[in-house]
Amino acid sequence: MNPRRDFLLCRGPPMAPYGNIPVMPAVMPGAHRCDGPLPSPGLSELSAFEPNIHHTPGETHLSYHGPPLAPPYGSIPATPAHPRHGNPLYRGPPVAPCSSIPVMPASTHRDDGHSSTKLSALAAEFHPASTQIDPPHRNPSMGPRGHIPTGPRNYLGQHSWQPQSRSNYHRSRHGGTHHESDAPHGYPPALAWEPPRFHHRHPYIDHIANMPYQSPLQSNGNGGMPPTSAFDPFITTPNTMTPGGVGPVSANPYSHDPAAAMGGAFFANPAGFQQPVQYHLYAPIGPHNQNTMGYQRNVHDLFLPNDLREELQKKAAATLQTLPNTQLPAQVDYFHSLVPLDLSHQKNASTFGYPSWIYKAQSSKDGCFYALRRLEGFRLTNEKAIRSVQAWKRVCNGSVVTVHDAFTSRSFQDSSLIFVTDYHPLSKTLAEQHLNTGNRYPARPNAPISEQLLWGYMTQIANGLKAIHANGLAARVLEPSKILVTAKSRIRINACAILDVVQFDTQKTVADLQRQDLVNFGQLILILGTGQPAVQHNLNKALEVFGRSYSPQLKNSVMWLLGSLQKEQERNIDTFITGISSQLMSTFDSALHMDDQLNSDLCRELENGRLVRLLSKLGFVNERPEYELDQRWSETGERYFLKLFRDYVFHQVDAAGEPVVDLGHVLTCLNKLDAGTDEKIHLISRDEQSSFIVTYKELKKGFESSFQALLKPARRMH
Ligand SMILES: Nc1ncnc2c1ncn2[C@@H]1O[C@H](COP(=O)(O)OP(=O)(O)OP(=O)(O)O)[C@@H](O)[C@H]1O
């Protein structure tokens, strides 16, 4: 496997230990060229949000043509941007760092020779809210928060950076103890905060101390440092949070029973599954029909396809639609909020013997929406007639609109018979779809139905008829206006049960009615294939026209159905289904493809619900005005970091001071928070006076404990 691709799919660059360097310009004067794999490839293609980022598929670096980027794109830089960084002799203005340097406080140096590093990373008493760096030498060249100045570079000699021990670099100004007067916001220190793993450092210096490797620093020809080790982006040390460290996955991470999960054959290597689960590794699940490289993603990959979302939203809106000031009855038995679904006021009684109207209504029993079909002026003479609907309740089939109930009503100021069926929002009838009837969809030429679609319709209707006949019933009404198209190519037999009630006293046997179903079925296909609603008047002519457009197999199938009334040969739906079995397979295969596609779409949304929960938790904690009478709760302890993290995620600005609206950045950060990765990020207080380097793991810990604090039972206050 191409290691680069492997990395990219895993979305973690090999630049451990700083982990992911999200999109950041690599080709900049003086900048180290990032020849490694694309950082955060999963989201780096969200270029719609990042106008300055140009990503050429297949290349492993980013070309950058814009101004230096502010930190939104950068976590902790992986390369020393310039020799000045870390040079304690440097007294010039804050230098426009290479673009990979994150936002930093305006001043971190003092002329008195004090180290600018303020806090020992290991200081036991460290309280993040009370840490402070020196009062800033505010330099006019310093832009707004998050703005990296881009002015002329001023190099004061070349200072070779010498790796030093961490302890040297992290001297505490106050011997590692906390002084409350240093608190930037005057906040009291948090009580239950475990600080040791948060580091407050000089951002110019300390990030260098942690460089995983050193590369020659280029700076206007002033020389550079020899590399201490060659960097190969495709070689990585195993790290639990880097892709190189992912290794073989061995057990089902979601199983509550690790023993059982380990024993399963699902994961190849039982060496142990990594914790925490790396939620931020989105695995693209097929089918893949995009013409993109393996590591490329765009924002649409993380959400439902637009057309599907639009369709579902429209259906939801249609379902919830109400009709104020209507003259319809407010209540019909246990239904209310009626909305008519017919758009035509002209109703003929040809199908049922009574004019029929159809409404969407909400049930007071269960709150669900149903379709009510009303037969106007119907008088029930035989109680048994309406009980025949009971048998229809047993018909549960994907190709039949389910019948739920039937009752008579006087709510419409007449005697009406009401049938309650499933409601399928925004459905059309086959007649509306293909025969241009109804005025909801204005006239347009009838497009001929493809043979494949016609076979699809036939198999679905056959499926519905099989279920109906198997229950000892007959559909009785099989015509284009009584077949619902509920989704693309998806149809259902509608208006079942009605003739059973209305023509209860009919003398015909069920067997006769079922045979008639087959004939009606044949006529229906003929109507759809020829586009002529009145084929029964001249079947031979219609068959001839039909035969010109469709295969002999399809025509023969229709003829077989039309001949179902012939007594000499027993014909039933099962025989028919056996006859068209080859077509059933192809329809079945289409259904499987559809199923795969929907599964894949579902996977895109899979993690979004989790992110909403994450955001909700953050919202509960961030800026909380008061907790247990402590008005500074959300500004102290780990909550303070969460606040800065919120700023880091949402409130960054670019070099021009413009808000960075980058969904990719947001998703990346939130996922890493949820996964609790070891990657470090640089948080800056709003007044730019405090700067912290924290790992997502630490953030997650603080995040969880803050949220759990909110959940604990309220203390009794006396
Ligand atoms: N169960 C249902 N769910 C959602 N919409 C439905 C349902 N049943 C019917 N409709 C819609 O109601 C409208 C009217 O349906 P109907 O069965 O009355 O057809 P029609 O074309 O008006 O036929 P007719 O003239 O015989 O009444 C159609 O647009 C159809 O899509």
CB atoms within 10 A of CB 90: 21
pLDDT in tens, 331-343: 999 999 999 998 7
351 within ligand 1 shell (Cβ under 6 A): yes
358 within ligand 1 shell (Cβ under 6 A): yes
705 within ligand 1 shell (Cβ under 6 A): no
Tell how far the Cα of 292 is from the centroid of ligand 1, in angstroms: 43
423 within ligand 1 shell (Cβ under 6 A): yes
The C-alpha atoms of residue 498 and residue 476 are separated, in whole angstroms, by 9
Tell how far the Cα of 358 is from the centroid of ligand 1, in angstroms: 6
| Confidence (pLDDT) at 213 | 32
| Confidence (pLDDT) at 295 | 60
Tell how far the Cα of 191 is from the centroid of ligand 1, in angstroms: 67
| 320-345: b (≥16 Cβ within 10 Å) or e | eeeeeeeebbeebbebebbbebeeee
374 within ligand 1 shell (Cβ under 6 A): no
- First vs last Cα of the chain: how many Å apart? 66
Ligand 1 atom showing the smallest separation from residue 428 Cα: 31
293 in the Ramachandran plot: left (φ > 0), alpha (ψ -120 to 50) or beta? beta
The C-alpha atoms of residue 447 and residue 470 are separated, in whole angstroms, by 35
Collapse the DSSP code of 707 into the 3-class scheme (helix H, G, I; strand E, B; otherwise coil) and give the result.
helix
Tell how far the Cα of 553 is from the centroid of ligand 1, in angstroms: 32
The C-alpha atoms of residue 540 and residue 717 are separated, in whole angstroms, by 90
Tell how far the Cα of 470 is from the centroid of ligand 1, in angstroms: 26
Residues 593 and 615: beta-carbon distance below 8 Å: no
Query: What residue type is assigned to position 26 of the chain?
Result: A
The C-alpha atoms of residue 21 and residue 37 are separated, in whole angstroms, by 10
Nearest CA to ligand 1 atom 1: 423
Tell how far the Cα of 372 is from the centroid of ligand 1, in angstroms: 10
Nearest CA to ligand 1 atom 20: 481
Place of tokens 């303070």: 640
Please compute Rg for the chain using Cα positions: 35
pLDDT in tens, 159-197: 333 333 333 333 333 333 333 333 334 333 333 333 334
Ligand 1 pocket test target in 338, 346, 427 with most atoms within 8 Å of CB: 427
Place of tokens 């809106």: 317
Ligand 1 atom showing the smallest separation from residue 344 Cα: 22
The C-alpha atoms of residue 93 and residue 149 are separated, in whole angstroms, by 10
Please, how many CA atoms are within 13 Å of residue 203, restricted to the half-sphere of its CB?
A: 30
pLDDT along the chain (718 residues), means of 10: 30 31 30 32 32 32 34 35 34 34 31 32 32 35 34 33 34 34 37 38 35 32 36 37 35 42 40 51 56 63 82 92 89 95 82 93 96 94 90 95 96 94 95 77 69 96 97 95 94 95 88 94 95 86 93 95 83 94 92 91 81 91 86 86 93 91 88 92 90 94 92 63
Bond into 212 cis (ω within 30): no
Binding residue ranges for ATP: 373, 422-429, 481-482
Whether ipTM > 0.95 holds is yes
525 within ligand 1 shell (Cβ under 6 A): no
Tell how far the Cα of 438 is from the centroid of ligand 1, in angstroms: 10
438 within ligand 1 shell (Cβ under 6 A): yes
Binding residue ranges: 373, 422-429, 481-482
Query: What residue type is assigned to position 371 of the chain?
Result: A
Tell how far the Cα of 380 is from the centroid of ligand 1, in angstroms: 23
Of 81, 339, 95, 323, residue with least CA distance to 214: 81
Q: Where in the chain are the domains?
A: 312-579
486 within ligand 1 shell (Cβ under 6 A): no
E strand or H helix at 357, and its extent? strand 356-363
| Confidence (pLDDT) at 714 | 63
pLDDT in tens, 4-26: 332 222 233 332 232 333 333 32
| Confidence (pLDDT) at 562 | 93
Nearest CA to ligand 1 atom 13: 342
Tell how far the Cα of 484 is from the centroid of ligand 1, in angstroms: 8
496 within ligand 1 shell (Cβ under 6 A): no
427 within ligand 1 shell (Cβ under 6 A): yes
Tell how far the Cα of 420 is from the centroid of ligand 1, in angstroms: 13
Residues 323 and 338: beta-carbon distance below 8 Å: yes
| 449-462: b (≥16 Cβ within 10 Å) or e | beeeebbbbbbbbb
Tell how far the Cα of 383 is from the centroid of ligand 1, in angstroms: 27
628 within ligand 1 shell (Cβ under 6 A): no
| 559-569: b (≥16 Cβ within 10 Å) or e | bbbbebeeeee
Please, how many CA atoms are within 13 Å of residue 356, restricted to the half-sphere of its CB?
A: 18
401 within ligand 1 shell (Cβ under 6 A): yes
CATH of domain 312-579: 1.10.510.10
| Confidence (pLDDT) at 48 | 31
| Confidence (pLDDT) at 232 | 39
35 within ligand 1 shell (Cβ under 6 A): no
Nearest CA to ligand 1 atom 21: 481
